[in-house]
Amino acid sequence: MRKPILALAFASIAFSANAETIEQRAAPCLACHGEKGQSETENTPSLGGQQAPYTLIQLFMFREKLRTFGPMNEMAKALTDDDLRLFSDFIAKIPKPAAPTEAGDPARLQRGQALVQQHRCDTCHNPDLSGKENVPRIANQREDYLAKTLAEYKDNSRHGYDGSMADVLAPITPEQITDLAYFVAHMR
Amino acid sequence: MISHSSTPRSLLLAGAFLSAFTLTAAAQQPAAPAAAGASPAAAPALPPGSPLIGRPAGNEAAAKLAPNAPPPIPAAPDKLPTAKLKVPAGFNIEVYAAGMANARSLAMGDKGTVFVGSRLVDKVYAIVNKDGKREVKVLASGLYRPNGIAFKDGTLYITELSKVSKIDKVEDVLDSPPKPTVIYDKLPKDEAHGWKFIGIGPDGKLYVPVGQPGNNVLHDDDHGQIRRMNLDGSGAEVIARGVRNTVGFDWHPATKQLYFTDNGRDWMSEDVPEDELNRIAKGGEHFGAPFCLQGNIVDPEFGWGKSCSDFTAPVGLLGPHSAALGMRFYTGSMFPKTYKNVAIIARHGSWNRTKKVGGDVVVVKLNKDGTMKSMEPLITGFLEDNKYIGRPVDVLPMKDGSLLVSDDWNGAVYRVTYGKQKVADKQ
C-alpha cells in the first residue's frame, strides 16, 4: 500500500514545485541517489559533493534527451532552466561520498592507480579525482556505476557532452575498466 | 560491497520511485556493461584522440589546463555580454538572436533565414524574420554533433559527425520541416575533431573536412584532409591533406582560391605552434600536419626525417592555440572601404595556454600575392580576467553588409554594423 502513495506523492511534485523548498523537491532524487550523498542503489551514482557545472550539464542532457535513461529523462522533463541550476547547486553542497574503511585489494588498487596515471585522468578530474567545473567528482563513486559508465563511454552508447571520454576510453580494455573502477571507488 | 541493512527507508522510497517509472524506464534500460563477454581487445594501433595526450608530466601550470566546456543553457538576452564587447570606432554590435543552445556555424538562406548549427546539442536552428520580428525555430533535432551547415539553391546541407544530409526547399517548410535526407556517410566516426564545418565552393561542390583523430597523431588515409563532392554526395575526392582540424573556410572573392583556418597542435609549448591560415592554390597540397607545424617547425615527435620544405606552408599565422574557426571574406559595402575583401575570422580562444589567447573576431588583410599582411581586432571583450564570458565561432556577412557572429558559450548570434543605424534598418 505504501508504494503507490509515495509514487503519487512524487508525481505531484511537478505541480506543487513552487510551494516547496529545494530540500523537499530533492527528496525523491536522494531516495535513489542516497540521502547522505552516498548511493546505496545498484548502478545509481552517488551525488554528494558533485561539481555543480557538471550536474547542470547532466540534468540539461537528461531534459533534452541527449543522455537517455528513462527515469531521469522523465524526472527532468518539466524542469526549467532555473530548476536545473537550483538542483545542481543543492547537490554540490551534499557531503561527498566517504572513502571505504577497509584498505582493499592492493594488487587491483595498484593496477587501477597506474591506469589513472597512464591515461591522465588526474589532469581533468584533479589529482584527488574530486573534479573541477564541468568535469565530475569520481572519487569514491560506486564501483558498479563507474564500470558501467566507462563501458558506455567506450562503446559510445553514452554520449558525453563533448567527445573527451570516448577518446580516452578507446585504448582501454574491459579488464582495465574493472581495475579503474575498483581503484576510483576504493581510493583513500 | 555496501550494506543495505541500515537504511530500510531509503530503499522503500527508492522502490516507490522506480515503480513510478517502470513503463518508461523499461524501454530504455541501458545495455549490460560491455565487459560481459567482450573479448580483451588489444589497444588500437593508432594513438587515442584524447586532448591530453602529450601533456608534459609533473608540470603544475600544464596540469591546470583542460578544454573549457560552455554552459549548457543559453544565456537570457538580458544576460548576454553585449555591452562588454568592444568594436572599433564607428562600428556597433547588437544581439541578433538568442536562446539557441551552443550556437555554432552560420548559413544564410535566399529568403533571409539564418541557419545555425550546434555541436554539443542535437539541433539546427532557423532564425526567421517575420513582420519585422525575429523568431528562433528548431529546424531539426535528434542530430549528432550537427556543426556544419551550408545553403545553396533553396537546399540546406547539414553535416553531423559522420554523415551529410540535406533539406530541400528548406525555407518553404520551416514550420513543418521533414527529416534531413542523408546524401553521404562515408566518413569516419571519431569524436576527436569529428565535428565539421562545411561550405559550397564557386565550383558548386560541397567541401567537407575530416580532422585528424587526436591532438597529434599518425593516422590513415581517411583523416586529416578536405574532401569535395557533388551536391548529391557523389564523386567525393580529397583535395588537401595534412590538415589537422579546419573549422572554417571561404573562397577569395577575386582569385576564387580556397582559404581555410587550421588549428595547431596542443602541448608542444605555450607559444608555438600557431594556428594557420592556409590557401589551396592548385589542389592536392599537403599542409604539413602532423609532420611540419606552422610551416617552419618539424614536429618533435613525428617530424624526424621530414623537412618543412616538403609541405605547403601557411599564408599566415593566427596565434598560438587561438582556435581560429569560422572565416569569411567581406564583400559588403556597409563597412569602410578598407574592409573590402578582407578575411574576417572568429578566434574561439585557447584552452591550452596559461594566458588565454583569442576569444575575439579579427580582420586579416592580404598582400597582393595572397599571403597574410596584417591581423587586427574587430570584436574583443569575450575574455575577462582570463575567463570566457563568450566565445565566437562563426562569422557571416549579410546582404546589407552587416556581419553576424555566433557565440556558442552564450547560445547567441550578434550583428555588427557600421555607421549610424536608422530605424529603417528594421524593415
pLDDT value at residue B393:
98
Q: What is the CATH number of the domain that holds B303?
A: 2.120.10.30
Residues of chain B with pLDDT under 50: 1-47, 424-427
Decide if B127 is inside a domain: yes
For B329-361, the pLDDT digits (tens) are 999 999 999 999 999 999 999 999 999 999 999
Determine, yes or no, domain membership for B140.
yes
Domain count, chain B: 1
Give chain B's count of helices (H) and strands (E). Answer: 3, 29
Q: Is residue B402 part of a domain?
A: yes
Mean pLDDT of chain B: 89
> Average pLDDT, stretch A3-28?
64
pLDDT tens-digit readout, A20-50:
899 999 999 999 999 999 999 999 999 999 9
Per-residue pLDDT for A4 more than 60?
no
- What is the percent of chain A where pLDDT is above 90? 77
Residue B120 lies inside a defined structural domain of this protein: yes
Q: Is the pLDDT of residue A115 over 50?
A: yes
Q: Which residues from A are below 8 Å from B12, CB to CB?
A: 2-3, 6
Confidence of residue A156 (pLDDT cuts 50, 70, 90): confident
pLDDT at B222: 97
The yes-or-no verdict on residue A108 having pLDDT over 70 is yes
Q: Is residue A137 predicted with pLDDT exceeding 70?
A: yes
Task: Give the Å distances, CA to CA, from A58 to A53, B151, B172.
Answer: 9, 33, 36
Are the beta carbons of B35 and A64 separated by less than 8 Å?
no
- CA-nearest residue of chain A to B38? A174
Between A14 and B292, residue with greater pLDDT: B292
Domain assignment of residue B1, yes or no: no
Mean pLDDT on A93-120: 94
Q: What residues of chain B lie within 8 A of the CB of A143, using their CB?
A: 1
Distances from the Cα of B409 to the Cα of A30, B161, B258, B329, B392, angstroms: 31, 20, 28, 24, 8
B174 falls within a domain:
yes
- Which residues of chain A neighbour B35 with C-beta distances below 8 Å? 147, 151, 174-175, 177-178
Structural domain harbouring B325: 87-418
Q: How many other β-carbons are positioned within 10 Å of the β-carbon of residue A145?
A: 19
What's chain A's average pLDDT?
Answer: 90
| B295 lies in some domain | yes
Q: Which of B2, B29, B69 sits opposite A161 (nearest CB)?
A: B69
pLDDT at site B15: 42
Work out the angle at residue B194's Cα, subtended by the Cα atoms of residues B72 and B375, and round it to the nearest 5 degrees.
80
pLDDT(A100) > 60: yes
* pLDDT per residue as tens digits for the range B105-129: 999 999 999 999 999 999 999 999 9
Dist. CA B257–CA A165, nearest whole Å: 38
ipTM: 0.81
CB pair distance less than 8 Å for A151 and B73: no
**3-state DSSP assignment of residue B326:** strand
Residues 13-52, chain B, touching A (beta carbon < 8 A): 13-21, 24-31, 33-35, 38, 40-44, 47-52
* Model pLDDT, residue B66: 80
Nearest CA-CA distance, residue A123 and chain B, Å: 6
B361 assigned to some structural domain: yes
For residue B297, what pLDDT is reported? Answer: 97
- In one-letter notation, the amino acid at residue B262 is D
